[in-house]
Amino acid sequence: MAKYDYIIVGAGSAGCVLANRLSENGKYTVALLEAGGADINPWIHIPVGYIKTMAMPGVNWLFDSEPEPYTYNRPIPIPRGKGLGGSSSINAMVYVRGQPDDYNGWSQMGNRGWSYDDVLPYFKKSENFELGSNEFRGIDGPLNVTTTRQTYPFMDDLIQGAVQIGYEKTKDYNAESQEGFNYFQVTQKNGLRFSAARAYLNPAKKRSNLQIIKHAHATKIIIDGKIAKGIKYLVNNNEKSIFAQKEVILSAGSIQSPQILELSGIGNPILLKKYGIEVKYPLLGVGENYQDHYIARLVWRASQKRTLNEELRGLGLVKQALKFAFLRRGALCVTAGLVAGFVKSDESVSTPDIQYHIAPASFADPKKRKLDKWPGLTIGPCQLRPHSRGSVHIGSKDSMANPIIKPNFLSSEMDRHVLIKGMKIARNLVKAPALKDWIDREELPGPETESDDDLLDYARRTGATLYHPTGTCKMGHDDKAVVGDNLIVHGTENLRVIDASIMPKLVSGNTNAATIMIAEKGAELILKK
């Protein structure tokens, strides 16, 4: 019978951090279960490969949302990483911490130890920021963070244009002030993706007290009374069990951590009984409080052929491949957005509530990631702090079946209002003097789309997730909370959830940085127990 001190389910961003930190003192044995395989696919490591990995079987769970009325009953792809590194191995590598008010808000909700001052040391502990340390940034951590290696005159002029119409050129959106425009910071090193697996797991792999079990699909938690004892999992359709002498830790992410809890009998009793699952502990909030960023992308045709659309096609692609092979520079280092913008929808808003992902590129077929044949610009706004709430729940007791994902995008009037404002601000940005020689015409939604209703119609027809599902095992102390501020599942012993699902509210930005911070703090909570 296999026994370890700690069992971690999921080798994503959080799981890799935990595997490293819990095993580094050599005192404890740690088992890390991952349903996917090794991170050996070359498209994982080439930054522009995210275009492929976002829709690639084998490295992606390829979930879809349920059709919902506010997004015209379209199933919306919900990519989630499968394999070592999890979503940090397939994402756009964008590093955004969010705003201090995000974490102060968590603290004000009764979650002690989660204010911005509380979590900042863990952000600093996690990162090696190539531009140097200061009171906000760290240089001794495992995770390499840098500015994008590739810049474009088009993007330089766009940032200048933002300044011309009244916005700031932010120095470091992860430091004193998020507001303004500048190039994204990314988790890359020497032009290659620097996933949580590269940062945290690779240095720990050879430790004798760490066992990494790949292709291990967790099916349920072994629970005796209220005590988590271990995990049942499948390998090649053979069921196995593994036991924890100290704790079981779910780090399977906002889709699958609640799924595993429900399959194990922890969740809403009505739902569990519906599928014939014995109720181990009733927790009404499991799978609820689903939050994600919804983006609507506007596209312009550029006047000059100096965009990714040309560089990643034909002879241009050959040149860029050689540039990447020899210099680790060029278009193959580019992520989903080159320039970030954080702005307020209204002066009454205290901090930015709109984020832009901006790239000198456009897709003729977004689903197939096929680039347009003409030079393009894409500006995608999202509502940073959405009011819409959705859910994720099991649809059967079959652990291999996909859960039912209902994001409920745009169900909030405020979300619709802010997104429309974001689209209008984008249109105003391209009219800046610095862009007069760059912009030919608006392609999507097109200049004939003028009214708020028409803009909303476009957003509902074409919008998509920004791949930031959170909140489905929320931290708190109300009747819908799943974990306490110590990340222990309410009503249980020796069972924690440590991943993005514990966020009570979605942070104001991309979520990978915050997830790694949560795991760093979670590891310390465990070791200080």
Helix (H) or strand (E) holding 181: strand 180-183
SS3 assignment, position 273:
helix
> Whose CA is closest to 436, among 303, 300, 298?
303
Catalytic residue among 293, 393, 468, 490: 468
Q: Are 506 and 292 in contact (CB under 8 A)?
A: yes
Other Cβ atoms within 10 Å of 347 Cβ, number:
6
User: Any catalytic annotation for residue 468?
Assistant: yes
Q: Which residues, 6 or more positions from 506, have their beta carbon under 8 angstroms from its beta carbon?
A: 291, 292, 293, 385, 386, 468, 470, 471
- Using alpha carbons, select from 475, 468, 489, 482 the residue that is nearest to residue 518: 475
Q: What is the largest CA-CA distance in the chain?
A: 70
What are the residues whose beta carbons fall under 8 Å from the beta carbon of 52, sequence distance 6 or more?
43, 369
Torsion-angle region of 41 (φ positive above 0: left; ψ -120 to 50: alpha; else: beta)? beta
Cβ pair 330, 318 in contact under 8 A: no
Token pair, residue 35, equals: 């349903």
Q: How far is CA 368 from CA 79, 337, 365, in A?
A: 14, 18, 5
Nearest-5° Cα angle at 511, 510 to 517:
130
Query: How far, in Å, CA of 225 to CA of 246, rounded?
Result: 16
Alpha-carbon gap, residue 155 to 181, rounded angstroms: 10
- Nearest residue to 256 via CA among 224, 290, 287, 293: 287
Cα-Cα-Cα-Cα dihedral sign, residues 485, 489, 492, 493: negative
Interatomic CA distance for residues 471 and 269, integer angstroms: 20
CA 406 to chain centre: 17
DSSP string, 110-142: T-TT-SHHHHHHHHHHHEEETT---SS--SSSS
Here the tokens at position 342 are 């954080």
Distance, first Cα to last Cα, the chain: 26
Measured between alpha carbons, how far is 459 from 451 in angstroms, rounded to an integer? Answer: 12
The residues, any chain, with a CB within 8 Å of residue 144's CB and separated by 6 or more, are 127, 128, 130, 187, 188, 189, 194, 199
Distance in angstroms (rounded) separating the CA atoms of residues 256 and 252: 5
Instruction: Tell me how far the alpha carbon of residue 470 is from its chain's centroid.
Output: 8
User: Active-site positions?
Assistant: 468
